[in-house]
Amino acid sequence: MATRLRETDVVIVGLGAVGGIAALPLTQAGLEVIGLEAGTWLTKRDFAPDELRNNYRGWPQSAQKANREIPTHRPTAASPPFPRLAIHPMMNAVGGTSLHYWAQSWRLNPWDFKVVSETKRRYGSARIPGGSTVEDWPFGYEELEPYYDKVEVEIGVSGAAGNVNGAVDRRGNVFEGPRRREYPMPPLRGTGFTDLMAAAARTLGWHPFPGPAAVNSRLYQNRSGCMYHGFCNRGGCHVDAKGSTAVTTIPKAQATGRLKVVTRAHVTTIDSDGDGRVTGVTYLVDGMEYQQPAKVVLLASYTYENVRVLLLSKSKAYPNGLSNNHGQVGRHYFSHNQTAGVSALFPWNTNSWYGLPAQGTAVDDWADDNFDHSALDFVGGGNLWVYSDRRPIAAASMSTFGKTGRSWGSEWKAFVKENADRTNTSYLQKTTLPYEANYLDLDPVVKDPLGFNVCRITAEYKENERKIALFIQDKMEQWYRAAGAVAVERAPVGPMGPSTHAYGGTRMGDNPQTNVVDRWGFSHEAANLGVLGASTMGTSGARNPTLTAQALAWRTADHLAKSFNAIARRRL
C-alpha cells in the first residue's frame, strides 16, 4: 500500500518549464508547495559540447521516464499507426525541457487570441475551415501582458521591443502587441550571416528583427551572458546563460523555504473523492508507492502526459478520466506545423559553425493576420526564422541539392568539403488549427513498463495547414534568393507525430462543453485541479509556445494564491 504523506497546500506534477514557473508566485505568497519531478537535477557540468551525445543519442532523454511512454501516432482513426519514435522529444529533469530547448521566447500576437472573431470580421464566417474546433481565447493579449512581463524579467529574456505602449520601434517586431517596457536585456548579437539575411529582407520591403530569447545577452541576475559556442540545440547551457527554470524560478522558490522538490517521482494518478474534488496524487519512487495529499493539485507535465494522467485517473466521480465528464480531455489537440522546411545553398561560406538556434533574424510579415488574406483561401501564416547553428555530423549529413549522383564516395565527399558551411535551413512555424478529427486518447494496446496505456495521437495536417505551408515556402525561397542563394530545396509537409510544440487536450475556455479548464486554468469539473502548459492553449500562433505557457502558468498561480481559500475549500 502507498505510504501516505502529510498534506500540503499545493502539489505540482512536473517541475519543468511551467511547473517551475508556478512554484515561484505560490511560494512567494506563502503557500507550501511540493514539486514532484520525474527527472533529477542536472547542472552545467552535465552539458558538454558533444553533438553525438546531445543530438544523435538523445541524452539524457533516452534514459528517462518520458522515453518509456512515447505517444503512438496515426494520421486518422482509420489508418494504421506510424512507427513509434525512438526518443521522446521532451525530457524529464528539474527544469524539464527548458534545459535543452531553443529558448525562443515569444509573446503571441494579439490576433492569436481572437482567431475566430477577427477572421469572421475581416473575411467572413466561411473562412474558418470546416471541421475546425477553433475558438477565441476567453481573454485577449492585454490580459496576459502583465504575466508575459513578469516571466520575461524573472527568467531573463533578451530581445528588441517592437511596440512599447503603442510606440512602434522598427528595430523590433512591428507586428507585436504593445509591451509595457523594453525587454530586460538587449537582443542576442547578430552574426555576419544573420545580418546579411536581415539586409536581404529589407530589400524586399519586409521587417526583419532579432528574435526574443530566454538566453542572457549579458550578465543578468548573476548568470553569465551567452558564450555562443554552438551546443544550445538539445543541449543545456554550460554557463547557465539559458534561463531554464532550473536556474531561475525554481531555486528562487526554494529560497523561500516553502518549495520541496521531490526528484525521480513518477506520478501515476491524481486522486479524487466522491464529490469530484481532487485530494492529492499518487506517485512511485524506485517501485515504492506514495500518496501525497494536497488541497490543490496543479498538473504541469507535458501536453501528452497531462492528457494521459487525466485519462488514467479514473474514479467514481470521473468514470471516463479526471475532469472528463464532458468528454473534452484530449480534444482540440494540434501540434505546430514545423515541417515543410526550406533549405538554401550559398556560393560562399556562411560561417555558421557557432551560435545558437535563438541567435537569428525573424520576419513576421507573413505570420498570423499581419498581411491581407482577402485574395487568399486560408487562415493564419508563418514566422520565418534563420539562425546560426551548425555542428559537424549534421553538417556532413547535409543535402547535396541534387548536385551529386550518390550520397557517398569521392564526388559526394568533394561536395561536402566545399559546401558544409554554405547551407542554411530555415525554421518555419506556421499556424495550425484544432480539428474535430485530431485528438489524443489512450492507446488501447501500447503500454508503459508499469502497464499503463500510453498516449495516442490521432492527427494530420489539414487543407488550411497545407496551403499555409506552400505560401510560406514561397516567401522563404524569395528571401533566400534575395540573399544570394544558388539553390533552394523544399521539404514536404510531414506527419503530425509527437512534437515539442503540442497544444490542446485540456483547452481553456468559458464553455465547459468544449473546454476542460476555465479562464484561470482550473478544471470546470474538479474545482481544485489546475492544469498548466500548452495543453490549455487553443491556438498556436506562428511562434514557440513556451513563454505563453509560462505566462499562463504564472497567471494561474497568481489566481490560486489570491483565491486560495475559495479554491481549496470550494464545493461544486
Partner 1 sequence: MSKLISRRELLKRAGVAGVAAVVPVTADKRPQQGPAFAAPQAAAAREPLEHLTAMESDVLEAIVARLIPSDARGPGAKEARAAHYIDRALGGALASSRTLYAAGLAAVEEVAQSFRGKAFKDLLPDEQDDILSRFDSGTVQGFADAAAFFAVVRAHTLQGTFCDPYYGGNAGFVGWDLIGYPGVRTLVTPDEQRLGADVPFNRKSAYDYEMFTKAVASAAPMGAITHGD
Q: Which is nearer to partner 1, 280 or 330 (CB)?
A: 280
Does the footprint of partner 1 cover residue 271 (CB under 8 A)? Answer: no
Span near partner 1 by CB under 8 A; candidates 12-20, 167-175, 328-336, 404-412 = 404-412
Closest distance to partner 1 from the beta carbon of 183 (Å): 20
Closest distance to partner 1 from the beta carbon of 6 (Å): 5
Whether 20 contacts 95, CB under 8 Å: yes
DSSP state letter for 67 = G
Does the footprint of partner 1 cover residue 51 (CB under 8 A)? Answer: yes
> Among residues 256, 268, 325, 349, which is the contact residue for partner 1, using CB under 8 A?
349
Sign of CA dihedral 174, 177, 182, 186: negative
Q: Which is nearer to partner 1, 391 or 475 (CB)?
A: 391
Span near partner 1 by CB under 8 A; candidates 148-156, 226-234, 327-335, 373-381 = 226-234
> Among residues 87, 168, 262, 493, which is the contact residue for partner 1, using CB under 8 A?
262
What is the β-pairing status of strands 288-299 and 334-335? Answer: unpaired
Does the footprint of partner 1 cover residue 373 (CB under 8 A)? Answer: no
Total Cβ atoms within 10 A of residue 227: 15
> Among residues 167, 255, 396, 450, which is the contact residue for partner 1, using CB under 8 A?
396
Q: What are phi and psi of 535, to 5 degrees?
A: -65, -20
Q: Which is nearer to partner 1, 328 or 400 (CB)?
A: 400
Does the footprint of partner 1 cover residue 388 (CB under 8 A)? Answer: yes
Q: Rounded to whole angstroms, how far apart are CA atoms 518 and 503?
A: 16
HSE-CB of 194 using CA atoms within 13 angstroms: 27
Q: Rounded to whole angstroms, how far apart are CA atoms 314 and 298?
A: 17
Return the bridge partners of 13, or none.
Answer: 36, 299
C-alpha cell at 184: 530586460
Span near partner 1 by CB under 8 A; candidates 48-56, 102-110, 476-484, 521-529 = 48-56
- x/- string (CB under 8 A) for partner 1, residues 166-195? -----------------------x-xxx--
Closest distance to partner 1 from the beta carbon of 395 (Å): 6
> Among residues 34, 317, 340, 345, which is the contact residue for partner 1, using CB under 8 A?
34
Closest distance to partner 1 from the beta carbon of 194 (Å): 9
Q: Which is nearer to partner 1, 167 or 393 (CB)?
A: 393
Q: CA Rg, the chain, in Å?
A: 23
C-alpha cell at 464: 488550411
- Of 411-450, binders to partner 1 (CB under 8 A) are 413-414, 416-417, 420-421
Closest distance to partner 1 from the beta carbon of 476 (Å): 21
Does the footprint of partner 1 cover residue 285 (CB under 8 A)? Answer: yes
Return the bridge partners of 282, or none.
Answer: 269, 291
Return the bridge partners of 73, or none.
Answer: 457
Whether 432 contacts 466, CB under 8 Å: no
Looking at 286-376, which runs of residues are DSSP E strands? 288-299, 334-335, 342-345, 360-363
Q: Which is nearer to partner 1, 49 or 140 (CB)?
A: 49
Does the footprint of partner 1 cover residue 486 (CB under 8 A)? Answer: no
Span near partner 1 by CB under 8 A; candidates 5-13, 126-134, 331-339, 361-369 = 5-13
HSE-CB of 451 using CA atoms within 13 angstroms: 0
CA 370 remoteness from chain centre: 22
| CA 290-291-296 angle, 5° bins | 140
Total Cβ atoms within 10 A of residue 26: 29
* Coil vs helix vs strand at 105: coil
Q: Rounded to whole angstroms, how far apart are CA atoms 206 and 362?
A: 10
| 390 Cβ neighbours under 8 A, 6+ residues apart | 230, 352, 353, 421
Whether 216 contacts 185, CB under 8 Å: yes
Span near partner 1 by CB under 8 A; candidates 19-27, 104-112, 124-132, 343-351 = 343-351
> Among residues 292, 335, 343, 473, which is the contact residue for partner 1, using CB under 8 A?
292
Grid look-up 558564450 returns 227
Closest distance to partner 1 from the beta carbon of 570 (Å): 23
Using CA atoms, how far residue 481 sits from 327, 353, 421, 429, in Å, is 49, 22, 17, 20
Does the footprint of partner 1 cover residue 229 (CB under 8 A)? Answer: yes
Span near partner 1 by CB under 8 A; candidates 52-60, 74-82, 300-308, 311-319 = 52-60
Does the footprint of partner 1 cover residue 402 (CB under 8 A)? Answer: no
Q: Which is nearer to partner 1, 376 or 395 (CB)?
A: 395
> Among residues 28, 56, 178, 256, which is the contact residue for partner 1, using CB under 8 A?
56
Q: How far apart are the first and last CA of the chain?
A: 30
Span near partner 1 by CB under 8 A; candidates 2-10, 153-161, 361-369, 453-461 = 2-10
> Among residues 14, 156, 212, 230, which is the contact residue for partner 1, using CB under 8 A?
230
Residues near partner 1, by CB under 8 A: 3, 5-6, 8, 11, 34, 40-41, 43-52, 56-57, 94, 189, 191-193, 196, 227-230, 238-239, 260-264, 285, 290, 292, 348-351, 353-355, 388, 391-393, 395-397, 406-410, 413-414, 416-417, 420-421
